Structure 1
Amino acid sequence: MVTSTAAASPGALALMARSTDVRLQAIARAARPDYPAWLSHVKAASGCTRPVRLAGTMLTIETATGRLLASADTARMPDGVIYKACGNRRDSVCPSCSQTYKRDAYQLIRAGLVGGLGVPEHVTEHPAVFPTFTAPSFGEVHTRVVKRHTCGRRATCDCRPDPCHARRDLSVCPHGRRLVCFARHDLTDQNLGTPMCLDCYDHAAQVVWNLQSTELWRRTAEAIRKYIRRLARARGLDPKTFRLAMGKAAEMQRRGVIHFHAIIRLDGTDPDNPDDPGATVPPPAGIDAHDLVAAVEHAARVTRFTTPPHPAVPNGWRMTWGEQLLTKIITVAADGDVTDGMVAAYLAKYATKSTEVTGHTSSRLTDTTINVYADPDGTHTERLVDACWTLGGPRWPVQGPTCGRPCLHRSCTAILQPPPWRPTLAGPLCSLNHKVGACGHRSCATIRVATTDPAAPWRRLRRWAHMLGFGGHFLTKSRRYTATFAFLRNRRVVFRRTETSGPQTAGQTLDEPTTLVVNFLAFVGAGWLSPADAMLANTSAAMAREHQDKAREYLTSIAA
C-alpha cells in the first residue's frame, strides 16, 4: 500500500507525529522536508537495530602544515547526532552488523587457506587439517543421531534418526527417573540437549569446563607444536623450519557446552631471511597432512590438567576433551571432502552465534537480574546460570559440613562481611555460642580459601554467567594465519572516503593520506530516537541489500 502525504496539512502531520501508531509516525517523518537529508545521514547505520549516537565536533586538519581545513558540529546535523552501527557480532542482537562480521570472518578464514589479504597464494599447497574438539559428558541428554545421511543439506536434514536412548533394561537413576527415551527427535525438538535427569546432571562441572576450555585449547595447541617438533627430529629434519598457524571457532551445543572447530596449517620458516622472520613460506618436505592428523589426535588424548582448588571441590576439576574427535584434511579442490570454502563458511556461521541454541539469551547479569535467569531447581539453562553465579561468588555460601571442633570463628555477621578477612582463633566466640558439631559454617581451611584467596578465575564465572561460563572469543586465530578484522574495517573506511572524495590525484596513494580527521565526540545514547525512525532506516537498508543481492546474482549469471 502506498500512502500519499502531499495533501496532508501541517496540523495533520503534527497529529501523526504524536500518534501511538508507528506507521503514522513514519508517514509524518517521511513527509518532513529534511527527510532525504536524514536518510542520507543515517545510511551508515541504517540497518543496525541499536546504533550508537555520538555528539560533538569533527575537525579536518592538513597533515603537512597542521592547518585547519574544515570543522563540523553535530548540532547542525539531522537529529543533532551521528549514528554509528553497533558492530555486534551476534545474529540474535543485530542481524545487519552480524552479517558484516560474518562476511569479514569468511574472508579472513578463507584467505588463510587460499591466499590474499597479505597471505601468499602458495598456502594452498601447505598441509592443513580441520579438527573438531568436543567436551566430555556431564550426564545423559536427549540426542538426535542419524547414522547414515541421505539428505543433500545437513541444515535441512529430514533423515530418520535413531531412537534417543532405547534400552531394554529400563534403567532408573538414583532419583527414580527412567533413563529411557524411544523418541526420534526432530531438529526443532525443544527436548534436544536437555538432561535425562536434571538432578543427576553435573551442572557445576560443565560451567567450569566452559570457563577453562580456552586454557585446555591453549595447552592442546602447544602439545601439537611439540609433537611436530619431535617428529621433525625423529625424521632428521630441523624443527625450527616448521611453524603452525591456527584458527578456531567456538560453537555452543544444545546442552550448553562449548566445542571447538579449528584450522591448523603447517608453514615453514626462512632462516636466510632475517629481515622478515614472520614471512609465510612453504614447509620443508617430510611432514604432511596425515602427520598433522596424528599430532591432533595425540594432543587431544594426552592434554589434561586440574583446575585450581575451589571450596566446592578442594582438589579441583579434571579438564579433558571428550571422546568424540573428528579431524579431516582440507583440500582446495572443489571435489574434496572438506574444501576451503566449506570450512570458511562453517566457521563464519558459528562466529555470529552464541547461546541462542540453548534457548537462553540475555545480556551481562547483575545482582538485580540474576533471579530472572537462575534457579537451582529450574530448567537446564537456569541451573547452569545458577551454577555460574554460585561458584563464582566472592564467598562460598555458609552451608555444608559442620566444624569438627568448638567454633572459634568470628560472629556470623563478621564472616559475611566482604574480604579481606582473616579467620583467627583470637576473635570472639560466635554470638550463638555454637557447640561441637552445631556450627553451620564450613571448616576453617575452607573459609580461609573462600575469603582470603582472590580466586580470580572463579570470579569470572559470574562475569560470564550469561554465556553459561564461557568467557573466550568465538573466533580466534594465530597472528600469522591471516590478516585481522581491524585491517578489513580500515580498508572499508579508506574505500568509503575515497568514494566520497573522488579519485586520487597523481602520485597520491591510499596509504598516504593528506588530511587528518580529529573527532571530539561523546556518547549520548544508543538506539533510534523512535520506532518510526528505526522502521524507516531498517526498511531503507533492506531495500539496499535486496538491490545488491540482485546485482550480485546478475553479475554471477553473466560470468557463468
Structure 2
Amino acid sequence: MEQVGHCAHPIRVTGCSDTIDATTGVVLASYSSGSEPDGITYLRCGNRRRAVCPSCSFQYQGDVFHLIMAGAAGGSKDVPASVVTHPLVFATLTAPSFGLVHAAKKPGRSGGRRCRPRSGDGRKVCPHGRPRWCMAVHQHTDPLVGDPLCVDCYDYHAQLVWQWWAPELWRRFTITLRRQLARHLGISEAACRRRVRVQFAKVAEFQRRGLVHFHALIRLDGPPTATEDYPPPRIGFGADTLAELVETAAGMVSCEAAPVDAQDVPRLLRFGRQVDARPVHDQADRDHPEQGGGLHPETVSAYVAKYATKAAADVLDGTGSAGRHLVQLRQVLGRLVVRATIAGLTGADGPYKGWGRWVDMLGFRGHFATKSRRYSTTLGRLRQVRRDYTRRRHLDRQRAGDDSAAGWADRDDQDQAEPTTLVIGSWRFAGIGWLTTGDAALAAASAARARDD
C-alpha cells in the first residue's frame, strides 16, 4: 500500500518488463508482477477529486500549490525570486444572477447577516406568490443555502447554458485583457507583446448554487529572451493599475450562446457584476499591512490550490445528499440534453457536442486548473522530480541490503532508464481498486494517518 501512496482506487496490472543495455544486450534488471502479493502490480489512480481518492487528490493539491506558489513568489521550481516584483493580481470572476437564492453571509462584513431582508420597494412577493425575502440567518452547512427563493422564477435554462460556455468566456477574457493593456499603453497589440506578456494560473470553484466561478492569479512579465525566461515587463505601472484593467476587461467580455432548439432563443452571456481584482504584494509587505492589503503569495496560492481538487460533488451538503436545487439542475439539464439532441446540436459539429457527458458536472466542461505556458513550472516536471527522488531513496535502501526495496527500484527503472538502456515490457490491465474490502479500509486509514502526520 505504501508503494501506491495508500491510493483508494489503485489500478491493477499484470505483466513483466526488462531493462536492457542497448549496446551490449545484457539484461540489467527484470521485474514481474508475479513477485508481488496476489501476482498483481498496483499503480496510483491519480484522480484529483477528493471525493474519489483522498490520497491522490492530496498529492495533486500539493503539486498545484507548488506550481502556483512558484509563479507568485518565485525562488523555487526554476522560477527566479525576482518574479515577485512583477505586477500580480488575484482575481475572482463570478457568474451572473439567474434568480434570488438563499445565502449564508459571513460575520464581520458590512450589513446584517440575514439572508435577504425585506426591501423598501414594496415588492413583497414574486409573480408566483412566493416571498422575495428571507429573514433567517443561514449557516454555511444549511441545506437551504444556494436554493432559489422561487423555483419557478429561477432561470435554470440560462444557468446551464452559461455553465457550458463559461470556458469560452474565460478565453475571451484573456484576449480582452491583452487588448486593454495595449490600449492603456497607447500602442498596438503587436508592440504591446514586445513589452509585456500576460501569465496566469486559474482554478474553477463550484458554488452552492451549482455555478462555477474562477479564481486566478494574473501576472505581467516581459517577453522571454535567450538568457531570461521571466524578465520584468517593460511598462510604467504596477499591480493596482493591472487590477483596474482586469475589472474593465471582465465587464467587457460577452459571448452569444446558440439556442438549445427551435423554441429557445440566443443568449448574450457575461460574467457577473461581482468581479474582484486585488493586488498581491511580496513578503516585505507583511510589515506594512496597509500597503499589502492582506494578500500575499503564500495566502492566495494556498487558497487557489484548495479548489483544484473539488468538483460538483463537493457542493453536496454534509449528509451526502444533494440539495433540492442541485437535483432540479440535473433534471433540467437532462431535459435540455434531450432537446438539443433532437435538434441535432449535440452531434459531431454541434455547439453542444458532448453535453450529456457533463451532467454530473452540472454542464461545466472546462478544466478545473489551467495556466499559461510560462506562468511557472508544469505538473509533469513536479511529478518527474518526485519519481527521481523516490527512485534514489529506494536504490539507497536496496544498496543497504533492504530486500523490500528491490521491487521499487526495478519499477522506477522503467521510467528513469538511462539513454543507453531500453525497457521492454508487456502489461495487461487487470482492474481498478483493491481486491478486498479489508485492503481498501486499511489503505484509507493509512492515508488518513499520513495526512495527519
Same fold (TM over 0.5): yes
What is residue 406 of structure 1 aligned with on the other side?
none
AA at the equivalent of 1:225:
R
Deviation digits for residues 138-187 of structure 1 (CA, Å, limit 9, x no counterpart): 0100012347349xxxxxxxx97234343464622222222221101112
| Alpha-carbon offset, residue 236 of structure 1 | 13
For residue 108 of structure 1, give the secondary structure of its aligned residue in structure 2: helix
Q: 2:279 matched to 1:329?
A: yes
**Higher mean C-alpha deviation, range 535-544 or range 347-356:** 535-544
Do the aligned partners of 2:169 and 2:270 also contact (CA within 8 Å) in 1?
A: yes
| Alpha-carbon offset, residue 247 of structure 1 | 1.0
Q: 2:302 matched to 1:345?
A: yes
What is residue 390 of structure 1 aligned with on the other side?
335
AA at the equivalent of 2:260:
H
Looking at structure 2, the residues matched to 311 and 541 of structure 1 have their Cα atoms a distance apart, in angstroms, of: 48
What is residue 15 of structure 2 aligned with on the other side?
56
What is residue 166 of structure 1 aligned with on the other side?
118
**Higher mean C-alpha deviation, range 302-311 or range 318-327:** 302-311
Deviation digits for residues 517-553 of structure 1 (CA, Å, limit 9, x no counterpart): 444222111111111112333334444555xx3xxxx
AA at the equivalent of 1:348:
A
For residue 280 of structure 1, give the secondary structure of its aligned residue in structure 2: coil
Q: TM-score if structure 2 supplies the norm length?
A: 0.85
AA at the equivalent of 2:316:
G
What is residue 405 of structure 2 aligned with on the other side?
none
What is residue 354 of structure 1 aligned with on the other side?
311
| Alpha-carbon offset, residue 383 of structure 1 | 2.0
Structure 1 residue runs of 5 or longer lacking an equivalent are: 1-41, 151-158, 362-371, 398-448, 550-560
The verdict on how the C-alpha distance between 1:395 and 1:281 changes in structure 2, with shifts beyond 3 A counting, is: closer
Do the aligned partners of 1:46 and 1:538 also contact (CA within 8 Å) in 2?
A: no
What is residue 409 of structure 2 aligned with on the other side?
none
AA at the equivalent of 1:171:
K
Matches within 5 A, 1:40-189: 42-115=1-74, 116-146=76-106, 148-149=108-109, 161-167=113-119, 169=122, 171-189=124-142
Do the aligned partners of 2:340 and 2:346 also contact (CA within 8 Å) in 1?
A: no
Matches within 5 A, 1:261-276: 261-269=215-223, 273=225, 275=226
What is residue 530 of structure 1 aligned with on the other side?
436
Match 1:216 to one of 169, 193, 215: 169
| Alpha-carbon offset, residue 96 of structure 1 | 1.1
Do the aligned partners of 2:347 and 2:353 also contact (CA within 8 Å) in 1?
A: no
**Higher mean C-alpha deviation, range 162-171 or range 338-347:** 162-171
Looking at structure 2, the residues matched to 451 and 481 of structure 1 have their Cα atoms a distance apart, in angstroms, of: 36
For residue 280 of structure 2, give the secondary structure of its aligned residue in structure 1: strand
AA at the equivalent of 2:200:
M
Do the aligned partners of 1:142 and 1:165 also contact (CA within 8 Å) in 2?
A: no
Looking at structure 2, the residues matched to 213 and 496 of structure 1 have their Cα atoms a distance apart, in angstroms, of: 39
Looking at structure 1, the residues matched to 19 and 336 of structure 2 have their Cα atoms a distance apart, in angstroms, of: 52
Looking at structure 2, the residues matched to 521 and 302 of structure 1 have their Cα atoms a distance apart, in angstroms, of: 52
Q: 2:292 matched to 1:292?
A: no
| Alpha-carbon offset, residue 387 of structure 1 | 2.5
Percent identity of equivalent pairs:
39
The verdict on how the C-alpha distance between 1:313 and 1:459 changes in structure 2, with shifts beyond 3 A counting, is: farther
Looking at structure 1, the residues matched to 349 and 281 of structure 2 have their Cα atoms a distance apart, in angstroms, of: 45
| Alpha-carbon offset, residue 516 of structure 1 | 4.5
Match 1:467 to one of 358, 361, 364: 361
Q: 2:363 matched to 1:457?
A: no
Looking at structure 2, the residues matched to 360 and 63 of structure 1 have their Cα atoms a distance apart, in angstroms, of: 57
For residue 393 of structure 1, give the secondary structure of its aligned residue in structure 2: helix
For residue 176 of structure 2, give the secondary structure of its aligned residue in structure 1: helix
The verdict on how the C-alpha distance between 1:511 and 1:227 changes in structure 2, with shifts beyond 3 A counting, is: farther
Do the aligned partners of 2:143 and 2:317 also contact (CA within 8 Å) in 1?
A: no
Looking at structure 2, the residues matched to 329 and 205 of structure 1 have their Cα atoms a distance apart, in angstroms, of: 32
Do the aligned partners of 1:146 and 1:160 also contact (CA within 8 Å) in 2?
A: no
What is residue 252 of structure 2 aligned with on the other side?
302
| Alpha-carbon offset, residue 66 of structure 1 | 4.4
For residue 230 of structure 1, give the secondary structure of its aligned residue in structure 2: helix
The verdict on how the C-alpha distance between 1:180 and 1:208 changes in structure 2, with shifts beyond 3 A counting, is: same
The verdict on how the C-alpha distance between 1:519 and 1:393 changes in structure 2, with shifts beyond 3 A counting, is: farther
Matches within 5 A, 1:195-214: 195-214=148-167
Superposed CA RMSD: 3.0
Do the aligned partners of 2:179 and 2:189 also contact (CA within 8 Å) in 1?
A: no
Looking at structure 2, the residues matched to 246 and 185 of structure 1 have their Cα atoms a distance apart, in angstroms, of: 35
Looking at structure 1, the residues matched to 326 and 262 of structure 2 have their Cα atoms a distance apart, in angstroms, of: 20
Q: 2:186 matched to 1:233?
A: yes
AA at the equivalent of 1:529:
L
The verdict on how the C-alpha distance between 1:380 and 1:465 changes in structure 2, with shifts beyond 3 A counting, is: same
Looking at structure 2, the residues matched to 228 and 527 of structure 1 have their Cα atoms a distance apart, in angstroms, of: 50
The verdict on how the C-alpha distance between 1:384 and 1:178 changes in structure 2, with shifts beyond 3 A counting, is: same
Pairs aligned (count): 425
For residue 231 of structure 1, give the secondary structure of its aligned residue in structure 2: helix
Do the aligned partners of 1:126 and 1:267 also contact (CA within 8 Å) in 2?
A: yes
Structure 2 residue runs of 5 or longer lacking an equivalent are: 400-415
Looking at structure 2, the residues matched to 243 and 125 of structure 1 have their Cα atoms a distance apart, in angstroms, of: 15
Do the aligned partners of 1:232 and 1:238 also contact (CA within 8 Å) in 2?
A: no
| Alpha-carbon offset, residue 46 of structure 1 | 4.8
**Rg: which structure is higher?**
1
AA at the equivalent of 2:21:
E
Looking at structure 2, the residues matched to 524 and 236 of structure 1 have their Cα atoms a distance apart, in angstroms, of: 54
| Alpha-carbon offset, residue 227 of structure 1 | 1.0
Do the aligned partners of 2:244 and 2:277 also contact (CA within 8 Å) in 1?
A: no
AA at the equivalent of 1:263:
L
**Higher mean C-alpha deviation, range 101-110 or range 180-189:** 180-189
Deviation digits for residues 346-400 of structure 1 (CA, Å, limit 9, x no counterpart): 0110111111343289xxxxxxxxxx99xxxx93112211232222237556xxx
Q: Which has the higher contact order (CA 8 A, sep 6+)?
A: 2
Looking at structure 2, the residues matched to 299 and 67 of structure 1 have their Cα atoms a distance apart, in angstroms, of: 62
Q: TM-score if structure 1 supplies the norm length?
A: 0.70
What is residue 406 of structure 2 aligned with on the other side?
none
Do the aligned partners of 1:55 and 1:74 also contact (CA within 8 Å) in 2?
A: yes
Do the aligned partners of 2:8 and 2:443 also contact (CA within 8 Å) in 1?
A: no
For residue 331 of structure 1, give the secondary structure of its aligned residue in structure 2: coil
Looking at structure 2, the residues matched to 125 and 84 of structure 1 have their Cα atoms a distance apart, in angstroms, of: 41
Looking at structure 2, the residues matched to 118 and 308 of structure 1 have their Cα atoms a distance apart, in angstroms, of: 44
For residue 46 of structure 2, give the secondary structure of its aligned residue in structure 1: coil
Looking at structure 1, the residues matched to 190 and 354 of structure 2 have their Cα atoms a distance apart, in angstroms, of: 43
Do the aligned partners of 1:391 and 1:458 also contact (CA within 8 Å) in 2?
A: no
